[in-house]
Every structure is written in structure tokens, then in C-alpha cells.
Amino acid sequence: MASKKREITVLVVDDEQVHRYMLCSMLKDWGYHCVEADDGDTAIEAVGRREYDAVLMDIRMARVSGREAFDRIHDTQPNLPVIIMTAYSSVDDAVNIMKEGAYDYLTKPLDFDRLRLSLQRAVDHRDVQVKREVVAGQGESLQSGIIGRSEPMKDLMEMIGYVAPTEATVLIHGESGTGKELVAEAVHINSIRRDNPFVKVNCAALAESLLESELFGHEKGAFTGADKRREGRFVQADGGTLFLDEIGETSAAMQVKLLRVLQEQELQRVGGEETITVDVRIIAATNRDLEAEVKKGSFREDLYYRLNVVQLTVPPLRDRHGDIPVLVEHFARKFAEKNRRSLDSITPECMELLEQYPWPGNVRELENAIERGIILMRGDQLTEKSLPLPVQNHSRSSAPDGADDDSETPSSLFEVEKQLIFKTLEETGGNKSEAARRLGITRKTLQNKLQKYDQL
């Protein structure tokens, strides 16, 4: 069931009655509750009587200017976003007001698309600021499956705590493998939508035509193979959260369709004419620099600003080096239990290798390395010998010249692999099935490798 939306109230301040009427009519059509003030002094009084979500104010007025009114309002309510309306001759004044804390300025005649976008972002920004004050005052705890004690992760968790309880659209940025989906789940779990669906879509995994049907649904007969009506992910997420992973991979045509749904909260199924209203919070994620993509023209600027109300940046593992030991312990226990292996400890040498490696694949690569290590573990200790070869060899390749002059050290990954296979065969008494199991490969793969060595 969709959650009920609260009423959002905007104070419109302008000494021209016709302009106020026009703005309020438009804002009401967009779903806002509008209150009018005919000059700067009445705006100051209005803000003192009740709370507003945003203020839209002209800079030039007869009795009290927008500049003076802003100063008075900002002193008492610094988190109340004020959008200044100005003629071109007053742009310098508007810019100066923004430096002092105004949220945005718009030049007359107004660009209504920009007004709508600016107003929506201002309201979302207000929600985040209000929640930040609540969190700071009450010390609320955060439910999350995210593991990390480093300062970058503490900062990220703090931001999640601020943002999650609001309705703000969130853009998560981070390299592949950093855990962007976990961050999205943490935002949902700590939101008022936690009891409603959390629906995930990987935008890069589907062709454009399939992605459209996946997101919006389709009518029976809309295309070949559409033998019945299907509801899309937006409808499935109604009342909850929709996570759009790899949003930077969407086509220009799909970006237009997504923008419409984000702005209107309405959609049509593929091949259908019925307009469907949805109440969905959007969380998007990308490993691309979308701001750079906007400049190149490959990502829509209006969609970028609609998604980027609040940005959460997930640090790469190399920037949270202190989290490696706790992540290793977590993954080791997890995969030992999953694979019914007895794990007593992780050797210091093994942990040192894991901490030295740069982890270009981030947490995902570390997790895979530990899973492999547990599977290939001999005895009840996780040692460096069962780690992936790139991890084992990194310390040798990064050692100073002359630091390791052992003539028996393998000269290539091929030699390391060969020695590991022969050593494993020796330990298993020549049992190829057991050796293959310990190495994490099939018996046929092991046999092919042995045949290759015989041919050299």
C-alpha cells in the first residue's frame, strides 16, 4: 500500500499580485500548497508564524527588499531554503545572497522547468537538513549490513543516517565492487518505507527494449512473446524503494522516460494507454562520473540533477585500508560456515599479504579471494598458500630490488601455478580428484594442465 504524502508548503513572496497568482496557480498544479506574501515585511511575519518547506521570493519589492527579508529569515531559520527571483539587472545581488546562504536564484522571465526542478531539490534538501538535526539531537542508531570502522566509512554511515528517513532521491557513486547495493539497502532499511518493497534493477544487464518492459511493464500483445500483461518494477516498488543500479548505462531515450516518471510519478505500460500513478523513492547508483557525462552530452543534465539531490560516495577499499582485517574475519567466518570448514585462525603472514594487496576489484574481489582461500585451506588455518596467485605474487613484485634474491622463486604466474599443482599432487599422494578439489578446479582442468606441462 502506498504511503501517504505529506503536504509541502511554499511561501511565494512578490509585490506584484498578478505574478503571485500565476506562480501559486502553477505550484498548486505541481502538488504544492501555496501561501502568498505581498512584500518582504509580510514574508518575515509569515515565517515567524508557521513552518514552510521553501520560500520563493522576488528581490525587488516596494517596502522591504528580498535581500533584507532573506537576512532576517536566514538568521532565525538557516535551514529554510530560499529561492530568489531576479531580473538580469539584479543578478549580482542574487549571487551575493546565495553566497550568504540562499538556496538558488532564477532570472525573469522564469524558466518554469528550472523552477520546478529547483523547488523540488530545495524541498528535498530541507528534509535532509531537518533529519540531520534530529539525528544529532537524538543519537539514533543505524541498521545496516555494512562493515567498516575507518573514518571514510564512519562519514558514509553518518550521511546514510541523515538521508535515509527523508524522501530525497539518492545517487550513490563508487567504483565497481565497493558495495553500492549494500548502501542502497541501508538507506531503504532505515527509511519510513522499510516495510514496503525494495526492488532492484541492473540497468546495464538488459537491452533497452527489455529494460523498458522491466521497468514499466507491458500489455498483452505489446511485442512478440508478450502473451499476458506484466507489471513493471516501478509498480512492484509502489510505496517502497526502487534501486536503479548502473544508471549511467541507460540510453538517451530511456533517460527521457525515466525523467518523466521521476517528475510526475506516473507511467504507462509498454503498449498501453492507461496512466498509472506510483509512489516510489528512487535510489540510483553508478561507477561513472555522471557530471562529466553530462558535459559530454551522453547523460541528460535534467535527469542528473533530479537524481543527484543527495550524493553518497562509497570509498574504494584502498582508501579504507583499516577495514581490511575486519572484512577478512567476517568473510572467513561466513565462508567457513557455508562450506562446513573448521576455521581456527588466520595466520599473520596471510593477513599481511591481504593488507598489502591494492584490491582493484575492491570489497567484491576481497570477498572472492577469501572464499577461494577457505575452500583451498589445508587444516584449520587460513594461510597465504591458499590465497589467489595475484595476491601471493604482489608482495614479490612490489618488493625493493635485491630484497628477494632466491633463485628458486618462480619467474612467472605460469611457474607459480605449476609449482602449486605439483605440490598439491604431492600432498595428496597423486590423487588427482582430491588435488583438483583443493585447487578449486575440475579434475578435467587439472588433467589438461598436466598434459600441457608434459609437452613443454
Ordered by where they begin, the domains of the chain are 9-134 (3.40.50.2300), 142-315 (3.40.50.300), 322-397 (1.10.8.60), 411-456 (1.10.10.60)
Residue 143 pLDDT class (50, 70, 90 cuts): low
Contact 193, 240 (CB under 8 A): yes
The three-state secondary structure class of 311 is strand
CA dist 308 and 389 (Å) reads 40
Better-predicted residue by pLDDT, 96 or 266: 266
pLDDT category at 1 given cuts 50, 70, 90 is very low
The answer to whether residue 151 scores a pLDDT higher than 80 is: yes
Dig out the grid coordinates for 364 from the structure. Answer: 567484491
Q: What is the mean pLDDT of residues 389-404?
A: 64
- The mean per-residue pLDDT over the stretch 417-422 comes to 76
Q: Residue 398's pLDDT is what?
A: 53
Give the pLDDT mean for 60-87. Answer: 90
Query: All 3 cell numbers of residue 309?
Result: 539531490
Contact predicate 230/217, CB 8 Å? yes
Q: Which residue stretches of 149-274 are H helix?
A: 151-163, 180-189, 208-216, 233-236, 252-264
Compute the average pLDDT of residues 413-421: 68
- The stretch 88-107 carries a mean pLDDT of 78
Q: What is the pLDDT of residues 280-329, one digit of tens each?
A: 999 999 999 999 999 999 999 999 999 999 999 999 999 998 899 889 99
CB 175 within 8 A of CB 315: no
Span 120-144, mean pLDDT? 61
State the Cα–Cα distance between residues 181 and 312, nearest whole angstrom: 12
Torsion of CA 204, 209, 215, 217, to 10 degrees: -160
pLDDT of res. 410: 42
Predicted local confidence at residue 223, as pLDDT: 82
CA distance 402 to 419: 23
pLDDT band at 411 (very low <50, low <70, confident <90, very high): very low
Helix (H) or strand (E) holding 58: strand 54-58
d(Cα 182, Cα 315) in Å, to the nearest integer? 13
Q: Which residues of 304-332 are buried (b: 16+ CB within 10 A; e: fewer)?
A: bbbbbbbebbbbbbeebeebbeebbbebb
